Chain A
Amino acid sequence: MEKERISNIQLFLHLSGFLFGSTVILSPARGAKNDAWLAILLGGAGGVLLTWVYAALATLNPSKTLVDILREKFGNIAGSIISVLYIWYFIHLTSLVMRDFGEFICTATFPQTPMIVVIGLFAIVLVYVVNSGIEVMGRLGELLVPVIPIVIGIISLSLITTHDFTAFLPILENGMEPVITAAFSFISLPFGETVVFLMLFKHLNKTDKLKKIVIVTAIISVIMGVLVFFRDISVLGSDLVTRATFVPHLVSLLIPGLNVEPLVDINLLIGGGVKISVCIYAAARAVSQVAHIDDYRKLTGAITTFCVVLSLWEYENQIEMFNWAEKVWPYYSIPFQIIIPLLMLLLSLRSGKRKSTAS
């Protein structure tokens, strides 16, 4: 288990899949309406910084997982307690993504299927994938993640006739405030969640390029986000973008003479699958480390089952889900995504300095 390695390109694809995962459905930046692209750029800049913090943390503490770092910096007991909180955070994140996925499928594609069937089926597949180990996850990502940009390309190109390229004007109609709020949500929704990767970074076979990969990935996904936003807004117009439940789905329905609805499902399944599998893996590894269990595979089944139940239980309806994702989740995540990692980074920098001065 310890020997399992993922390559740079596998990490790159996994991270991009992760960043793109549920933004296919939920785009927290759309609170800023026409100016969401500004919010994406601003939030993206913050997100790149944040991912840099995680990468720096991983390079300063090579071959250590999040749990190891927490224990080292905060002491065994406090570290373990914070680890348990993180485990909860990962599990919660998994269940949220599962719910996003289930909501989408049950609304857009299979209105008559109970959500538990959809989520449960998906979860079984993902347990199989996660139990195959990080190496197999990496390789699977290599095969599947490249499908996402291809699908986005197909949809965007077939929509080229329906574009209205002035739809994003006027700029800053409502002032800066909604942009900043949306940007903040955007930092936390895809980028801050990459804190899960702190459980994975140690499996990278060449750690020297870690920071570069992470930053490149973050920048690429920001660019993708902006492009997709421009596509959406020039096809739908600002009013529809704000009001539509599932923007990419609605966009794909507008292709003249062709219905590519299942392609959006594919994207969601791959992106969401990457995201959920990484989260489950991280949660299971963290539990196994905290509780000193030799093999995380014993835990994946239980953790996933819990996530499935949690995902069905946590919202009453879609409105609540969107509300939560845009208004509560960013603040709920602050300690996990920003405060604790920054604290750890500071502590690692200090101890690194002490080490260098001592030597």
Chain B
Amino acid sequence: MVRRVKKPARIKTETRIPAHKYISSDSNLPVPSTVDEVKTRLSEIFSCCSDFIQREISCGKNRLIKIVVAYLNGFVDKRILNQDVIRPILDFLSNAAMNESMSISEQLKECVVVNNDIKEACNMQQAVDGIVSGEALIFIDGEETALVIGVKAPQGRPVKEPDTEISIRGAREGFVENLLTNTTLIRKRIKNPNLKLEMMQLGKQTKTDVCICYIKGIANEEIIGEVRRRLKKIDIDSVLDVGIIEQYISDSKFSLFPTVGNSEKCDKLAGKLLEGRIAIFCDGTPQVLTLPYLFIESIQNTDDYYDHAIFATVIRFLRLTALLLSTLLPGIYVALVSYHHAVIPFRLMITLAASRQGIPFSPFIEAILMIIAFELMREAGVRMPKPIGQSLSIVGAIVLGEASVAAGIASNLMVIIVSITAICSFVVPPLIRVIMLLRFTVLLAANLMGFLGIIILIVVVFAHLCRMRSFGVPYMAPFSPLTSADLKDSFVVVPIWAMVTRPGILRQEKAEGAKGTKRQEVMLNSDVQKD
């Protein structure tokens, strides 16, 4: 499924040597045995790296034992490195209490270094990998292996409320760029050893840490296997954002509808995991992927579960209406005005004719112009620094609202329709871009064939949606195929105490007899709760 397209390196400079190139020449070479050789190898590899620091220390009796400490500046916590690693080593080496039967580095590893995260690097590749991922390298003269000690300094911004997903109730914590902070945030919510975190590295150049997260016993093993398989197939230079992974692993490569979800909110992700979904964390990205992602999730929100079920249901219907309106409204207007005059009530017809008087464009052109103007404003508003955003909204209000009508470019009704469309499209954030494109298509269809065109387009879009799957799960579930047990969390939200079962569609391999599964899941549910 995953295309093996090699991505070009993002930064192309003359002096840059691909990282895997130098390593390929001596990747399996052992670590040189003398301090001087190690130093020259490392300075060759890290030439022109101003943040690379290596220091030679002579210690022991008569200053005979030489050791090398190498690390990347700013990446490691120097206080920990000095107090917990270097000082004990120096103390130990100057004492005579050495065990002659063991090598020095083994003794250091076993009983000297205070730090817990300690590995042995047998070849240059491992040593260099350790240094570039923020660990300190310690080499003792005459030894065969070097020690790689994890003294990474905590980095990145503090945990904050995400700007992209605002909720009224529920936790404010959002994910940050640091992978370990993110996994800790999830662990904090699901205190259960069944929460599994599988690490892997992706990207030949960037060696980005990627983590598959799921709850064993709840998530479908087949889907987990499929995720692993697809992630392993990814063969690219760089993974700078989780969105790159998303594009590689999503099912329908050419579909505009998302088949992989993403979230920045911890409680939302915890909820998804508990439903049996799988999450993919990527170091350096605050967004976390969730999958399988179904259509219905676009209109779900965490607030729905924290509030009274009736409010949640009403809001779900509002969102659905917004989804339909923002896609269809301009198209319906154009179809009405250009084809189906008879359908418009007489009085409205008069108002309409009056407002359209003197407008030089056809309704279609008028609609396209106004919608493009709105989309431009939206795009500008997204990229703009906050202080300037306000002036943009004023300009937009005047241009779109007042001046265009006064100048006779657009009708009043069209302004209203575009505004409603615009407001509605913000109600369903995951689908904003799909809706935008669909809106233009609907407009075109309406202009060509009136309502018939719109209906045919709807049938095509529905057929497309029914055809799609996200990691083997039908995209339009629970509506089609109809899974009556899962309708509890669709357009209607039942109270949280009545939602006793998990989404059955995610556990498809056992879903032959729906009744059996229900009981099974209730049992599983109670099991997990006991744990």
Name A's B-contacting residues (CB within 8 A). Answer: 7, 9-10, 105, 109-110, 113, 118, 121-122, 125, 128-129, 132, 136, 138-140, 142-144, 257-262, 265-266, 269-270, 273
Cβ of A128: which chain B residues have Cβ within 8 Å of it?
460, 463
Alpha-carbon separation in the docked complex, A261 to B341 (Å)? 11
Name B's A-contacting residues (CB within 8 A). Answer: 339-340, 342-345, 449-452, 455-456, 459-460, 462-463, 466-467, 474, 476, 479-482
Contact of B466 among A121, A139, A269 (CB under 8 A): A139
Cβ of B342: which chain A residues have Cβ within 8 Å of it?
259, 261
The dominant DSSP class at the A interface is helix
The answer to whether A129 and B449 have CB atoms under 8 Å apart is no
Cβ of A261: which chain B residues have Cβ within 8 Å of it?
340, 342-343
Alpha-carbon separation in the docked complex, A259 to B456 (Å)? 20
B513 to chain A, nearest CB (A): 10
Residue in B closest to A253 when the chains form the complex, CB atoms: B342
The answer to whether A125 and B451 have CB atoms under 8 Å apart is no
B172 to chain A, nearest CB (A): 38
The answer to whether A273 and B459 have CB atoms under 8 Å apart is yes
A155 to chain B, nearest CB (A): 14
A154 to chain B, nearest CB (A): 14
Those 5 A-B pairs whose CB atoms lie nearest each other, nearest first: A139-B480, A142-B480, A262-B451, A139-B466, A259-B343
Residue in A closest to B460 when the chains form the complex, CB atoms: A125
Cβ of A265: which chain B residues have Cβ within 8 Å of it?
451-452, 455
Q: Could you say which of A10, A129, A132, A136 has the most chain B C-beta atoms within 10 Å of its C-beta?
A: A136
A298 to chain B, nearest CB (A): 18
Known contacts A7-B481, A109-B450, A143-B462, A121 near B456 by CB under 8 Å: yes
B168 to chain A, nearest CB (A): 32
Known contacts A7-B481, A139-B480, A144 near B452 by CB under 8 Å: no
Alpha-carbon separation in the docked complex, A273 to B463 (Å)? 12
Contact of B455 among A129, A143, A269 (CB under 8 A): A269
B71 to chain A, nearest CB (A): 57
Contact of A262 among B340, B345, B463, B480 (CB under 8 A): B340
The answer to whether A10 and B481 have CB atoms under 8 Å apart is yes
The answer to whether B466 and A136 have CB atoms under 8 Å apart is yes
Alpha-carbon separation in the docked complex, A143 to B479 (Å)? 7
Alpha-carbon separation in the docked complex, A118 to B452 (Å)? 9
Known contacts A10-B481, A140-B480, A266 near B466 by CB under 8 Å: no
The answer to whether B482 and A7 have CB atoms under 8 Å apart is yes
Residue in B closest to A10 when the chains form the complex, CB atoms: B481
Cβ of B474: which chain A residues have Cβ within 8 Å of it?
139
Kindly list 17 other residue pairs between chains A and B, CB separation below 8 angstroms, not including A125-B463, A142-B481: A7-B481, A109-B450, A110-B452, A122-B456, A128-B463, A129-B463, A132-B463, A132-B467, A140-B462, A140-B466, A144-B459, A259-B342, A259-B344, A262-B455, A265-B455, A266-B455, A269-B452
Alpha-carbon separation in the docked complex, A270 to B452 (Å)? 11
A90 to chain B, nearest CB (A): 21
Alpha-carbon separation in the docked complex, A143 to B345 (Å)? 30
Please name 30 pairs of A and B residues whose Cβ atoms are closer than 8 Å in the assembled complex, sorted by A: A7-B481, A7-B482, A9-B482, A10-B481, A10-B482, A110-B449, A110-B450, A118-B452, A121-B449, A122-B456, A125-B463, A136-B463, A139-B466, A139-B476, A139-B480, A139-B481, A140-B463, A142-B482, A144-B459, A259-B340, A259-B342, A259-B345, A261-B343, A262-B343, A265-B451, A265-B452, A265-B455, A269-B455, A269-B459, A273-B459
Alpha-carbon separation in the docked complex, A109 to B453 (Å)? 12
Alpha-carbon separation in the docked complex, A266 to B450 (Å)? 12
Alpha-carbon separation in the docked complex, A118 to B449 (Å)? 9
Alpha-carbon separation in the docked complex, A125 to B461 (Å)? 10
The answer to whether A142 and B459 have CB atoms under 8 Å apart is no
Contact of B452 among A109, A139, A258 (CB under 8 A): A109
Known contacts A10-B481, A132-B467, A139-B480, A144 near B462 by CB under 8 Å: yes
A221 to chain B, nearest CB (A): 20
Residue in B closest to A6 when the chains form the complex, CB atoms: B481
